[in-house]
Amino acid sequence: MNIVMTIAGSDSGGGAGIQADLKTFQELKVFGTSVITALTAQNTLGVEGIYPTTPDFVELQMKAVFEDFDVKALKTGMLFSADIIQRIAKSLRDQEVQIVVDPVMIAKGGQALLQEDAVRAMKKELLPIANIVTPNIPEAETITGMNIHTAEEIREAAEKILQLGVDCVVMKGGHLDGPSAVDTVFFKDGSSFKMRSKRINTKHTHGTGCTFSAAITAHLGRGLSLKEAIIEAKKFVQGAIENPLNIGHGHGPTNHFAHRLGYEAEVEIIE
């Protein structure tokens, strides 16, 4: 059994964070372990409160899992503070594990899930040891200090992020306009490719980023290459968005069961 880990915040509403990650891991047939950085009181309408864990307790959770399990790949999501990020980076120093960083900053309802001074720690401590980072456009703007609107600006921002030491940047296009949802993937060797899928006109996109990065992690844990894992993850999240559950009164969760029911989403790869 391939074992993976999520280091993230809990979403009591079940659509994002640790809960979305573990559901994705289960659907993709890997064994999921979890390290919780913060509890959120949250539903599809927004975040009502945040109760962070201490850096010591984050470290202890990681130690407990690493002592007992051979974790092949892990993802990080909501990390909340610079102190927690520093402790995670320290705990990962001696581990042989593939690392996916989803640089979660702001919930869809507008609440901050990462303190402002933590972005520096993410750039300095975490991205240099990561294999893949998956920013949406606003996150890429915060990391690089750029305004990003055009394809050329997406490429420039990705190059800046690659310079921080990560092997691969997935610039997610969920926040752009147009009939397609296009994510562009850049590698440190200079190669890149685009993944294009139909943009679904829906408000039910709570947890799309969490689900996407968890699916990449699951596929890395199963032994796929970075590129294959990213493409398979895009198909998984597309299927989960195309088959909404229509639950909750706000931005509802995506549907992880679509994959179990054999739904095959279409994703075009443009080299």
Ligand X SMILES: Nc1ncnc2c1ncn2[C@@H]1O[C@H](COP(=O)(O)OP(=O)(O)O)[C@@H](O)[C@H]1O
Ligand Y SMILES: Cc1ncc(COP(=O)(O)O)c(N)n1
Residues known to be catalytic: 172, 205, 207-210
Binding mask 196-215 for ligand X (x = CB under 6 A): -x-xx-x--x--xx--x---
- Is residue 17 part of the contact set for ligand Y (CB under 6 A)? yes
- Is residue 73 part of the contact set for ligand Y (CB under 6 A)? no
Q: Could you say which residues in the range 149-188 bind ligand X, by CB under 6 A?
A: 172-175, 181, 183
For residues 222, 2, 63 and 83, what is the CA-based torsion angle, rounded to 10 degrees? Answer: 30
E runs forming strands in 12-128 = 31-43, 46-52, 71-76, 98-101
For ligand X, which is the closer residue by CB, 20 or 85?
Answer: 20
For ligand X, which is the closer residue by CB, 55 or 239?
Answer: 239
Sole binder of ligand Y in the list 58, 62, 210, 240 (CB under 6 A): 210
Q: How far is the CB of 49 from ligand Y (least distance, A)?
A: 12
For ligand X (CB under 6 A), the number of binding residues is: 19
Q: How far is the CB of 189 from ligand Y (least distance, A)?
A: 29
Alpha-carbon dihedral sign for residues 227, 231, 234, 239: negative
| Residue 173 contact, options ligand Y, ligand X, none, Cβ 5-8 Å cut-off depending on partner type | ligand X
Phi, psi for 16 (deg, rounded to 5): -130, -170
Q: How far is the CB of 20 from ligand Y (least distance, A)?
A: 7
| Residue 174 contact, options ligand X, ligand Y, none, Cβ 5-8 Å cut-off depending on partner type | ligand X
| Residue 142 contact, options ligand X, ligand Y, none, Cβ 5-8 Å cut-off depending on partner type | none
Return d(Cα 235, Cα 215) in angstroms, integer.
9
| Residue 181 contact, options ligand X, ligand Y, none, Cβ 5-8 Å cut-off depending on partner type | ligand X
Place of tokens 């289960």: 26
Q: Residues 6 or more apart from 208 whose CB is under 8 A from it?
A: 174, 237, 240, 241, 254
Residues 226/167, Cβ–Cβ less than 8 Å: yes
Q: Which strands, in side-by-side order, build the sheet including 168-171?
A: 46-52, 31-43, 3-11, 71-76, 98-101, 132-133, 168-171, 180-187, 192-198, 268-270
In the bound complex, which residue of the shown chain has the CB atom lying closest to ligand Y?
17
- Is residue 237 part of the contact set for ligand X (CB under 6 A)? yes
Q: How far is the CB of 223 from ligand Y (least distance, A)?
A: 26
Burial category of 124 from C-beta neighbours within 10 Å (exposed 0-12, middle 13-18, buried 19 and up): middle
Q: Which amino acid is at 34?
A: S
Q: How far is the CB of 116 from ligand Y (least distance, A)?
A: 17
For ligand Y, which is the closer residue by CB, 165 or 250?
Answer: 250
Place of tokens 């009502």: 48
